[in-house]
Amino acid sequence: MTADQYVVATGFGPTTKLLAQGLNHAGLSNRQLGKRFSANVGTAVYAMFEKPIWPAGSARPEPGVTQCFIVEGRHVEENGKVVEEPALENWFHFPGTVALALTGWFQHFACAMRKFNHLSMAGIVVPTHVRDCNYVDECGKVHVSLNCDEFELLLRGMKRIAMIYFAAATPDDPVTLYLPTKAMLLRNGCPAVIRNMDDMEWALGEIRRRGPAFVNLLTTHGQGGASLGDVVDPESFLVRTDSGHQVTNLTVADSSLFPAGCEINPQLTVKALAKIAADKTRGRLEQGRVSKA
């Protein structure tokens, strides 16, 4: 199948792969392809309240599929220093996925899962910065990691969520936190119980000591790989080659175009960029028709 113009808009992973294959096939290359990848790396904290969150007979759906609420990032003073706290998101997951994420042993785990209607969840969102180690490879596989500052931001997000949940707890409805660790946190040989900020500070110390690999992390809002400026010409939206030429029939129109992460949901910007790319492509097609006539 052939066409006068090709627009690649398959999302950052497949787009990088398709561009790598296409350039390679034509004997061309762009060494910047796959670079400048960034994403929001996140995790969730689970809070088990003593009482059900929605009482029996509540008109609300149980357990309640919520719309997204964002608590914006902020700067706070901590020990005489101004530090950043990341944005937080409310979070919803079905029992099946919560069961995969929640740590717990046998009977204790079964009890926690039976109390799904007592469970509230909140997520932390940490935007990664542009670094060489964060990239999409030629097979479309994403490589992304947090550096020390970003990991610390994630921990501050967990702490912020803990403060919110402990503030919401009452003497007759206390809360126990479950942290997103890959294995059970053990304290003096027993599963750690996190019921106040002292417990939380201890847990954060343990997680900090064991590093990001000890935390269940997920990635959303991936951006970059075919960045405007390095891989795609910012005027024409055509793919560039190492020699500085533009591939005259190859346009990119998706989240790969971002030269850096925008930290928040990129979808509206993706749509705006795709509209510009479409207009440029249509202009080229019309120009081609005029010159053929």
Ligand X SMILES: Cc1cc2nc3c(=O)[nH]c(=O)nc-3n(C[C@H](O)[C@H](O)[C@H](O)COP(=O)(O)OP(=O)(O)OC[C@H]3O[C@@H](n4cnc5c(N)ncnc54)[C@H](O)[C@@H]3O)c2cc1C
Residue 54, token pair as written in the block? 């929605």
Among 270, 273, 281, 284, binds ligand X (CB under 6 A): 270
**DSSP at 72:** P
Neighbours of 269 (CB within 10 A): 15
Residues within window 235-254 making contact with ligand X, judged by CB under 6 A: 254
Contact 249, 26 (CB under 8 A): no
To ligand X, the closest distance from the beta carbon of 22 in angstroms equals 12
Residues 6+ apart with CB under 8 A from 226: 8, 12, 15, 16, 19, 33, 232, 239, 252, 256, 257
Q: How far apart are CA 288 and CA 246, in angstroms?
A: 16
Residue whose CB is less far from ligand X, 24 or 287: 24
Among 16, 38, 134, 255, binds ligand X (CB under 6 A): 255
Q: Judged by CB under 6 A, does residue 221 bind ligand X?
A: yes
Residue whose CB is less far from ligand X, 117 or 265: 265
Residue whose CB is less far from ligand X, 97 or 170: 97
Binding mask 49-68 for ligand X (x = CB under 6 A): -------------------x
Among 7, 9, 19, 41, binds ligand X (CB under 6 A): 9
Q: Which stretch binds ligand X (CB under 6 A): 5-13, 30-38, 144-152, 190-198?
A: 5-13
Among 267, 282, 286, 289, binds ligand X (CB under 6 A): 267
**DSSP at 249:** E
Q: Judged by CB under 6 A, does residue 176 bind ligand X?
A: no
- Amino acid at site 201: E
Q: Judged by CB under 6 A, does residue 16 bind ligand X?
A: no
**Residue of minimal Cβ distance to ligand X:** 267
Residue whose CB is less far from ligand X, 181 or 256: 256
Q: Which stretch binds ligand X (CB under 6 A): 56-64, 152-160, 264-272, 277-285?
A: 264-272
Helix (H) or strand (E) holding 204: helix 197-210
Tokens 């027993």 belong to residue: 190
Residue 59, token pair as written in the block? 């008109």
Q: How far apart are CA 113 and CA 102, in angstroms?
A: 9
Q: Judged by CB under 6 A, does residue 265 bind ligand X?
A: yes
Residues pairing with 59 in the sheet: none
Among 266, 277, 280, 284, binds ligand X (CB under 6 A): 266
Radius of gyration of the chain (CA): 24
Of 31, 30, 18, 35, residue with least CA distance to 240: 30
Q: Judged by CB under 6 A, does residue 10 bind ligand X?
A: yes
Chain centre distance of CA 239: 26
Contacting residues toward ligand X, per CB under 6 A: 9-11, 14, 68, 220-221, 254-255, 265-267, 270
